[in-house]
């Protein structure tokens, strides 16, 4: 009984230390939903390309539709992440917007904003072939930096995104499929692993 009490005390101390240094309200389900949003976006993008090839849409119409689509996927993913994180924080009586959360956001903002500006410059110069690789690489960098303030699994998701971005740079003709792999499949796998390991119990 005493040994069990000591183990429980150690576990509680470890949890308190983690809560003071890491953002633990991140939900695996938000990753799953983000992945499905991305895959739905890929399906709609393929439909838009089909409209262009049949002559129903112009190149400009397809471009603006894709911009709107990317924005919609981003808003849905962020909204879902905030909702599930809020629910998890409420359930476990955590503070959602604590010091680790602020540090995590601050750490991820530099590569995210840099990647956003970089992508905008690419669009302005018409270098669309570099757009998907750049988004994947900069997003991966933001995840690796943010991972120091949350679950370590986020770091490996970031590495997977960076690798996918580099592969997309080597084979740009499959940009849509690299997008589906990085933002869709990897998010779903990561979310399921997170849910099983940290959220289910």
Per-position DSSP letters for 164-200, written without gaps between them: HHHHHHH-GGGHHHHHIIIIIIHHHHHHHHHIIIII-
Residue 37 has pLDDT above 50, yes or no: yes
Residue 21 inside a domain? The answer is: no
* Short-list 91, 71, 89, CA closest to 81: 89
Answer whether residue 20 is part of any domain.
no
Range of the domain at 148: 27-199
Q: Give me the mean pLDDT over the 80-86 stretch.
A: 89
Helices 153-170 and 131-146 sit at what angle, rounded to 10 degrees?
160
Mean pLDDT computed over 42-51: 92
Total domains, the chain: 1
SS3 162: helix
Per-residue pLDDT averaged across 93-121, rounded?
A: 87
Report the pLDDT value the prediction gives residue 2, as an integer from 0 to 100.
52
The yes-or-no verdict on residue 1 having pLDDT over 70 is no
In a domain, 14, yes or no: no
Whether 88 has a pLDDT exceeding 50, the answer reads yes
Model pLDDT, residue 124: 86
Average pLDDT of the segment spanning 96-107: 84
Query: Would you state the pLDDT for residue 128?
Result: 84
Q: Is residue 192 part of a domain?
A: yes
In a domain, 71, yes or no: yes
- By the 10 Å C-beta count (0-12 exposed, 13-18 middle, 19+ buried), 83 is classed as middle
The arithmetic mean of pLDDT across residues 25-38, rounded, is 91
How confident is the prediction for the chain on average, in pLDDT? Answer: 86
Cα separation, 35 vs 57, in Å, equals: 28
Place of tokens 């988004």: 135
- pLDDT value at residue 201: 63
CB atoms within 10 A of CB 28: 22
**Is the pLDDT at 16 greater than 90, yes or no?**
no
Question: Are 38 and 44 a contacting pair, CB within 8 Å?
Answer: no
**pTM of the prediction?**
0.84
Residue 156 structure tokens: 């490996």
d(CA 125, CA 113): 18
For tokens 């840099």, the residue is 114
pLDDT of 120 > 80? The answer is yes
- Percentage of the chain beyond pLDDT 70 is 89
Q: What is the CA radius of gyration of the chain?
A: 19
Q: Is the pLDDT of residue 13 over 50?
A: no
Is residue 1 one of the residues assigned to a domain? Answer: no
DSSP 56: S
Classify 23 as helix, strand or coil. coil
3 in any annotated domain = no
């Amino acid at each position: 009984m005493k040994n069990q009490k000591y183990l429980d005390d150690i576990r509680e101390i470890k949890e308190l230390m983690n809560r003071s240094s890491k953002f633990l309200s991140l939900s695996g389900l938000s990753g799953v939903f983000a992945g499905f949003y991305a895959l739905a976006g890929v399906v709609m993008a393929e439909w838009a390309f089909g409209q262009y090839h049949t002559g129903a849409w112009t190149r400009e119409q397809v471009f603006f539709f894709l911009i709107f689509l990317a924005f919609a996927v981003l808003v849905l993913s962020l909204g879902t992440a905030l909702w599930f994180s809020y629910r998890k924080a409420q359930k476990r009586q955590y503070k959602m917007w604590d010091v680790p959360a602020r540090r995590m956001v601050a750490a991820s903002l530099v590569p995210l904003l840099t990647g956003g500006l970089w992508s905008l410059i690419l669009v302005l110069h018409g270098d669309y072939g570099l757009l998907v690789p750049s988004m994947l690489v900069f997003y991966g960098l933001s995840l690796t930096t943010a991972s120091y303030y949350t679950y370590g699994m986020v770091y490996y998701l970031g590495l997977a995104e960076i690798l996918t971005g580099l592969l997309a740079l080597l084979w740009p003709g499959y940009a849509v499929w690299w997008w589906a792999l990085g933002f869709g499949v990897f998010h779903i796998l990561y979310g399921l692993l997170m849910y099983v390991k940290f959220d289910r119990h």
